[in-house]
Homo-oligomer: A and B are copies of this chain.
Amino acid sequence: MEYHDSEKAKAVAGRVEDFMDDVVLPREREALATGEPITQAELEDLWEQAKARDLFAPQVPEEYGGQGLDFSDMLPSFEQVGRSLIGAHAIRANAPQEGNMHTLEMVGTEDQKEEWLRPLVQGEISSAFAMTEPKQGGGSDPKMLQSTAVKDGDEWVVNAHKWWTTDGLEADFYLVMARTDLDAHPYEGTSIILVPADADGVEVVRNIPHLGGHDITEREGGHAEMKFDNVRVPVENTIGEEGQGFQVAQMRLGGGRLTHCMRYSGMAERSLNIAKAYLSEREAFGTTLDEKQALRHRIADAETQLHAARTMVRHAARELDRSDARIEVAMSKVFTANVTNEAIDLALQCCGGNGIGKDLPIAHFYEDVRAFRIVDGADEVHRRSIARWAFDDIADEEIEHALQFDEDLRIDALDE
């Protein structure tokens, strides 16, 4: 399928595709077959190969070691890496590292970029974004944010209880969302503070047990419950402007949702490819199971929906390169999350018992993709935003016309 991406985008994506086919996928298949996880040293070797092939960190500016691509242009490369459980890792484009790099690059000072962004891109250090809190009171109301950072001289004193901090178990630093002005509206009084993992008072409480994430590398990953107890860091560790934490987080999230869409669409593509290989292989033995035809048609639908997602996400990336593209990103996210989920579910079904087994990557993908309908805004949150937009501008003529005949199948009333 030709997607009319730019020449630059295609060139990098072509190199990424070769890297995936030649190096990454064979290594992944071996890890699955043997059950031996991929070591940190091997991962670093993959990074070296990615650099040698001019495809390392496509989303990062060239001066910091990446390929300098904007959202539209990184897109086909990110789709490629989604095809493997270790693809995004292999080119250093995995969440949440990728989003954290984007944040530092967008709003970090030159000093911060030198100290944190540069080694982060190189994989010398790792990071985590500490935003979500337990027991917030039962709402997604930002006013409920409990974490605080209080200025004491030239230091922030951070107190926070966070959880679902992705990659938090092994991070070298945390970007912590905290209230820095309790009198202001949270949208004006929240800041992001960079906290090194070795600061006094930083504690990993536990790895929250959860669906998925049992990745095949040595790295533990996971989602951490964290405590920050009177942690002191210099005020220069503010990331972006003081008080503008929500605005920075929102910028981070818009792009993050879209890069997630790209990677997950690669995941769905791979799953369908395995399913097709499996079904066609079984055909080769001469059996004529009619359910295969039924499955073929369902695969046609999955391919169609995946294609729809890819055209939507491209459209949104184009918009995001020039605006905040709120609705375009929300639509892309909710649509892609659902169709990739369904495609992977179908692929699993096509493989029967092998679909459930973890000798193939599909069961891993199945676990991972389920979170995508929840993280970065659950489906319901995006649907609400989209509905608001959709109901925002209704032509008076239509209302008048509808009114003219307003009625109610009154019979309903009895069910009140």
The residues of A with any CB-CB pair to B shorter than 8 Å are: 1-4, 21, 25-26, 29, 33, 35, 131-142, 144-145, 163-164, 177, 208-212, 246, 249-250, 253, 272-274, 276-285, 287, 289-291, 293-301, 303-305, 307-309, 311-312, 314-315, 318-319, 327-328, 330-331, 334-335, 348-349, 351-360, 363, 366-367, 370-371, 373-387, 390-391, 394-395, 397-399, 401-416
| Cα–Cα distance between A315 and B307 once the two chains are bound (Å) | 10
With a CB–CB cut-off of 8 A, which chain B residues contact A367? 211, 367
Which residues of B are found within 8 Å of A297, using beta-carbon distances? 290-291, 294, 380, 383-384, 387
How far is B142's CA from A177's CA once the two chains are assembled, in angstroms? 50
Q: Which of B141, B285, B331, B363 contacts A139 (CB 8 A)?
A: B285
Nearest chain B CB to A377 CB, angstrom units = 5
- CB pair B352–A374 under 8 Å, yes or no, is yes
Cα-based distance from A353 to B358 in the complex (angstroms): 24
Given contacts A276-B390, A290-B293, A335-B304, whether A142 and B414 have CB atoms under 8 Å apart is yes
Q: Which residues of B contact A299 (CB under 8 A)?
A: 387, 390-391
Task: Summarize A's interface: helix, strand, loop or mixed.
Answer: helix
When the two chains form the complex, which single residue of B276, B282, B301, B373 contacts A391, counting CB atoms closer than 8 Å? B276
B403 x A281 contact (CB < 8 A):
yes
Supply 5 A–B pairs (Cβ within 8 Å), ascending by A. A139-B285, A140-B410, A295-B380, A311-B315, A367-B367
B residues less than 8 Å from A134 (CB atoms): 405-407
A274 to chain B, nearest CB (A): 5
Cβ 8 A contact of A277, one of B140, B357, B386, B401 = B401
B398 pairs with A277, CB closer than 8 A: yes
Q: Which chain B residues lie closer than 8 Å to A303 at the CB level?
A: 331, 386, 390
Q: A369: shortest Cβ distance to chain B, in Å?
A: 11
Chain B, Cβ-Cβ closest to A341: B345
Q: Which residues of B contact A399 (CB under 8 A)?
A: 277, 280-281
Docked complex Cα distance between A321 and B21 (Å): 33
Cα-based distance from A280 to B311 in the complex (angstroms): 31
Are the CB atoms of B273 and A394 closer together than 8 Å? yes
Interface contact B1-A328, CB-CB below 8 Å:
yes
Residues on B with C-beta less than 8 A from A359 are 208-209, 404-405
Give the nearest-CB partner of A359 in chain B.
B405
> What is the distance, in angstroms, from A9's C-beta to the closest C-beta of chain B?
15
Contacts of A354 in B (CB 8 A): 402, 405-407
Q: Which residue of B lies closest to A275 (CB)?
A: B402
Contact B274 A357 (CB under 8 A): no
In the assembled complex, the Cα of A413 lies from the Cα of B143 at a distance in Å of: 9
Partner of A363, one of B210, B283, B298: B210
